[in-house]
Amino acid sequence: MPKPTSRRNFLRITSAGVTATLSVKPSLSEVSSALLQEPPTGSIAVRVTDATRKFGVAPSLNWRSAAGASLKSEAITLDPGKTSQKYLGIGGAFTDAACYMFNQLSVSAREQLFHEMFDPSEMGLSVGRICIGSSDYSTKVYSYDEGEPDPELKRFSIEQDRTYILPILRQARRANPNLFLLASPWSPPGWMKPNGSMLGGCMRQSTMPAYANYFLKFLQAYEADGVRINAVTSQNEVDTEQDGRMPACAWPQEYEISLCVISWAPCSARMESRPKSGFWITITTCGDAPFAAWTTADFATFPIPSPGTDTSASRRW
């Protein structure tokens, strides 16, 4: 078995870009050169999960120099001089269940864990996804406006999230102030859907204005509680309603565009302080082949149609 410090050393080596924030700041090329000349010591533990094994122990691997090896087949080479596409960051999901479990840790254990996970001098995880209401990883099914139809959202409340979700998000942001948070709903409140439930189904067109306001209230409430959301999407997994087995909602593209252009923009324009979050929507490209991609629209600059404007062109994005 590897020494107790081998995992930490491995994480530090693979996070060379992150360690540049330390007081000693060698260039990435210098770090890469040093690794090629002096490969890390110790073995690499290997675990395998397949049809017959669950986290089963496999033969360990050993670090070795790439010198003399066939670079195409036997070595992974890091070349800081070659770059490809940009990426937003690396992270995970702050689901209701995840935050609940984080909250079960002692204060000191959670502080240490979050330091190791999010601090830029450690793993430096920099992106987190959160749920607007409940998901399939929640302690219960809930929205921020439960009950009978409430188009004016008089009942709107994020009280459910104040118990452990918001405190966990604030703590993660303290560990990494630049943590990017993307929020997605698994379902609108049940009264906004024809089936009257958060489980499966689709959106009701007539409730789009209320749903746009629902997003606004969510962003405002979270910011008032010390958690600014950087971006939102209209829906998690837009192309399935999961057979009604979990919070879900099918969202055709024209529904997303209707929410953004026809419902969201006028609603946002009426606010004294417009949100600074981005709205990410899915688009379908590549001819007849479905292809999920992301595009963004800044709420603060989103075009607002005048009364009576023909919005059919907007629906053809």
Per-residue pLDDT, 104 = 95
| Residue boundaries of the structural domains of the chain | 1-84, 91-304
Q: What angle do CA 129, 275, 282 make, to 5 degrees?
A: 50
Q: Which of 90, 88, 83 shows the shortest CA–CA distance to 29?
A: 83
Per-residue pLDDT, 67 = 63
Per-residue pLDDT, 100 = 96
- Residue matched to tokens 């595009």: 295
pTM above 0.75, yes or no: no
Whether 144 and 45 have beta carbons less than 8 Å apart is answered as no
CATH 3.20.20.80 fits 91-304, yes or no: yes
Which pLDDT tens digit goes with each residue over 94-117? 999 999 999 999 999 999 999 999
Low-confidence residues of the chain: pLDDT under 70: 1-39, 65-78, 262-263, 265-317
Rounded Cα distance, 276 and 121, in Å:
28
DSSP string, 86-154: -----EEEE-HHHHHHHHHS-HHHHHHHHHHHH-TTTT---EEEEESS--SSSSS---SS-SS--TT-T
Beta bridge partners of 129: 93, 182
